[in-house]
Amino acid sequence: MKFPLEKFEKIRTPFYYYDLSLLSDTLSSIKEATADLPNYHVHYAIKANANPRLLRQIASAGFGADCVSGGEIETALSSGFDASKIVFAGVGKSDWEINLGLDNNIACFNVESIPELEVINQLAAKKEKTANVAFRVNPNIDAHTHEKITTGLNENKFGIAMEDLHEAIGLACKMKNINYVGLHFHIGSQILDLDAYHALCQRVNDLQKQLESAGIKTQTINVGGGLGIDYEQPDANPIPDFQSYFGIFRKHLNLRSHQQLHFELGRSVVAQCGSLIARTLYIKKGHTKQFLIVDAGLTELIRPAMYGAVHATLNISAPKETPTEVYDVVGPICESSDVFAKAMPLPQSRRGDFIAFRSAGAYGETMASCYNCRQLPQSYFNMSNENLSPNDMDCSM
Which chain residues interact with ligand LLP by CB under 6 A? 45, 48, 66, 89, 149, 151, 186, 189-190, 224-227, 264-268, 303, 307, 363
Give the per-residue SS3 of 130-149: CEEEEEEEECCCCCCCCHHH
In terms of CB distance, is 149 or 310 closer to ligand LLP?
A: 149
What is the smallest separation between the CB atom of 358 and ligand LLP, expressed in angstroms?
A: 14
In terms of CB distance, is 226 or 347 closer to ligand LLP?
A: 226
CA angle 24, 109, 33 (to 5 degrees): 30
Angstrom distance (rounded) from CA 108 to CA 122: 16
What is the smallest separation between the CB atom of 106 and ligand LLP, expressed in angstroms?
A: 15
* Residue partners of 396: CB distance under 8 A and separation at least 6: 390
Residue 362 CB: number of other CB atoms within 10 A?
A: 25
Nearest partner of 54 among 88, 9, 21, judged by Cα: 21
Specify the 3-state DSSP secondary structure of 174.
helix
Nearest partner of 200 among 212, 220, 184, 219, judged by Cα: 184
In terms of CB distance, is 14 or 159 closer to ligand LLP?
A: 159
In terms of CB distance, is 70 or 224 closer to ligand LLP?
A: 224
What is the smallest separation between the CB atom of 227 and ligand LLP, expressed in angstroms?
A: 6
What is the smallest separation between the CB atom of 69 and ligand LLP, expressed in angstroms?
A: 12
In terms of CB distance, is 303 or 358 closer to ligand LLP?
A: 303
What is the smallest separation between the CB atom of 377 and ligand LLP, expressed in angstroms?
A: 16
Nearest partner of 139 among 129, 126, 150, 152, judged by Cα: 152
Angstrom distance (rounded) from CA 48 to CA 25: 18
User: Phi, psi (5° rounding) for residue 266?
Assistant: -120, -75
In terms of CB distance, is 45 or 201 closer to ligand LLP?
A: 45
What is the smallest separation between the CB atom of 310 and ligand LLP, expressed in angstroms?
A: 12
Q: Is the peptide bond before 14 cis (omega within 30 degrees of 0)?
A: yes
In terms of CB distance, is 133 or 388 closer to ligand LLP?
A: 133
In terms of CB distance, is 331 or 347 closer to ligand LLP?
A: 331
Q: What is the DSSP string of 369-391?
A: --GGGPPPPEEEEESSSS-EEE-
In terms of CB distance, is 227 or 330 closer to ligand LLP?
A: 227
Specify the 3-state DSSP secondary structure of 173.
helix
Strand partners, 277: 15, 356
Computed from CA positions of residues 66, 67, 72, 78, in that sequence, does the dihedral angle turn out positive or negative?
Answer: positive
Helix (H) or strand (E) holding 107: none
What is the smallest separation between the CB atom of 347 and ligand LLP, expressed in angstroms?
A: 28
Nearest partner of 68 among 95, 42, 45, judged by Cα: 45
What is the smallest separation between the CB atom of 224 and ligand LLP, expressed in angstroms?
A: 4
Report which residue type is found at 148: K
What is the smallest separation between the CB atom of 174 and ligand LLP, expressed in angstroms?
A: 26
